[in-house]
Copies of this chain bind each other. A is one copy, B any other.
Amino acid sequence: MLSVKFGFGRFWGILGFYSSTNMRLKLPITCFILQIILIILFGVLVQYDEDTDAKKHHHGNHSKTKPDIENDFYYRYPSFQDVHVMIFVGFGFLMTFLQRYGFSSVGFNFLIAAFSLQWATLMQGFFHGLHEGKIHIGVESMINADFCTGSVLISFGAVLGKTSPVQLLFMAVFEVTLFAVNEYILLTHLGTRDAGGSMTIHTFGAYFGLMVTRILYRPNLDKSKHKNCSVYHSDLFAMIGTLYLWMFWPSFNSAITEHGDPQHRTAMNTYYSLAACTLSTYAMSSLTAHDGKLDMVHIQNAALAGGVAAGTAGEMMLTPFGSMIVGFLAGIISVLGYKYLTPILENKLKIQDTCGIHNLHGMPGVLGAIVGAVTASLASKEVYGEGLEKVFPEVAGGHRTASYQGGVQAISLAVTLGMALFGGLIVGFILKLPIFGAPRDTTCFEDSLYWEVRKPQSHFSVQLRRNDCGKNNKIMNHKHQQMIRC
């Protein structure tokens, strides 16, 4: 290890890279290089699709052009914006629960999401099929890019507080790539149905992140344990994230289903799954506390498990009845996970899962995949009528039976788990290289390592030094929790 460290030291030394947590060069260089590569690749590879291009949209004579209202924009843009809010506000604020890590939670979420959606456009475009060597983009590709980004942000939840922004960007580079490969195998090769991404997004993101955090295991993390806490208002900020995720999950699951009844149905199934999940979450949270008091961690997270678990079967004829059962179970599983499984994972398996993504995305994702497999295997022309083609084109076309489709769904879960765990293993070891400026064990869960934050101030120093509070004046009194930035 030491030799690796010094070997890299020589190579990166000139640039100030090395194990220092100072981001002065590391972060700008990483951002600039990544963004310039993205711009070049976009210049070479990316084109407007039929619905966004001025010329292609108006081919031939006017009478043959489809009416403007049938532009995919009007079918999908409202859903896209809901998904967009989930990615940036939902995930971002959900993670602000930590008392001194709000800037990083919402800020690094912002950074890696802005990067990932560009990179995902390329990776997904490449695997989903080129058009004469070009990637065609429109609102559907934007939604898909946001979806892929969601997967990265799930993994971020596992390593929250313990990684530098440069580590996170590199994690995103690799994870987006693997996500696209896995999605390609499932959707294109196997013909799997997974509109809401129980497998491709949640299961993948969760187990990838869990493996990464396992590899990055910190035996001395308890040195920062006192900062791995929430305060009153940070929990309220986190509820903003929770509620936006909860409210817009119906849009998430339905965003890229077929037009018409599948989109409508998916949104409705998810709505009822989430509602049922919320009641079972409150019940379990109170039941598992010796004094019956609700735990904000459960409410913030487990109440969302119903959306994850409806990700695959949501577009199918799951019925509101079925959706509610799924959501109900997801909430129970998730709270139990937070209460009993997370400590075991941490103590026995050395998996330090900051946000408990195993409980919110991991187990509910697997549940969703299983529900999807079962529901698919029960599909029939009798239930779906002509609509079967929209949901199971291969079954409707007679190329496979419903139970075969169910089997494919189950295999897809296994493939996803394998890809996620293997990928996380490799990427975890890459991220362990001492060149990315990871925080030390004593400075985890702490904004001031990467952000300009005025140090906590006592009132007395406020009183005395009021007029000195100039641009660069850092007041160093630690007595008070409140931090001031001038």
Contact = CB atoms under 8 A, between A and B. Distances in A.
Contact of A261 (B54, B85, B286): B54
B482 A481 contact: yes
B99 A484 contact: yes
State the copy count for this chain: 3
Given A58-B386, A71-B259, A93-B240, 18 more contacts: A24-B287, A30-B283, A35-B328, A42-B324, A51-B261, A54-B387, A77-B79, A96-B236, A106-B236, A107-B239, A110-B246, A121-B320, A139-B264, A142-B271, A226-B486, A229-B485, A231-B482, A293-B451
A15 to B, nearest CB: 12
Contacts of A312: none
Contacts of A59: 385-386
Contacts of A479: 459-460, 463
Interface string A32-50: 1011001100110011100
A92 interface: yes
A244 to B, nearest CB: 7
A71 B260 contact: yes
Interface stretch (A112-120, A182-190, A404-412, A413-421): A112-120
A117 to B, nearest CB: 6
A466 interface: yes
A426 interface: no
Interface string A472-486: 000000111111111
Given A71-B261, A286-B24, A320-B46, A237 B236 contact: yes
Interface string A68-104: 1111111101110110110011001100100100110
Interface stretch (A3-11, A198-206, A273-281, A368-376): A273-281
Given A291-B24, A303-B110, A320-B46, A469 B264 contact: no
B384 A55 contact: yes
Interface in A263-311: 263-265, 267-268, 271-272, 274-276, 278-280, 282-284, 286-287, 289-296, 299, 303
A265 B102 CA distance: 34
A6 B33 CA distance: 63
- Nearest 5 Cβ contacts at the A-B interface: A54-B387, A24-B292, A55-B385, A58-B386, A68-B260
Most buried by B among A74, A261, A386, A481: A261
Contact of A287 (B28, B280, B324): B28
A317 interface: yes
Contacts of A459: 458, 479-481
A42 to B, nearest CB: 5
Contacts of A453: 232
Most buried by B among A235, A454, A470: A235
A385 B75 contact: no
A23 interface: yes
A178 interface: no
A265 B53 contact: yes
Interface in A117-132: 117-118, 121
A74 B81 contact: no
24 contacts: A23-B293, A23-B294, A24-B286, A28-B284, A38-B324, A43-B321, A46-B321, A51-B264, A52-B265, A54-B261, A54-B265, A54-B387, A55-B385, A69-B74, A73-B263, A103-B235, A111-B278, A118-B272, A137-B268, A139-B268, A225-B470, A228-B486, A230-B486, A481-B482
A344 interface: no
A138 interface: yes
A349 interface: no
Contacts of A283: 27-32, 35
Given A24-B291, A275-B118, A296-B451, A317 B54 contact: yes
Contacts of A63: none
Contacts of A77: 78-79, 251, 264, 267
Contacts of A58: 261, 385-387
A296 B103 contact: yes
Interface in A206-242: 225-226, 228-233, 235-237, 239-240
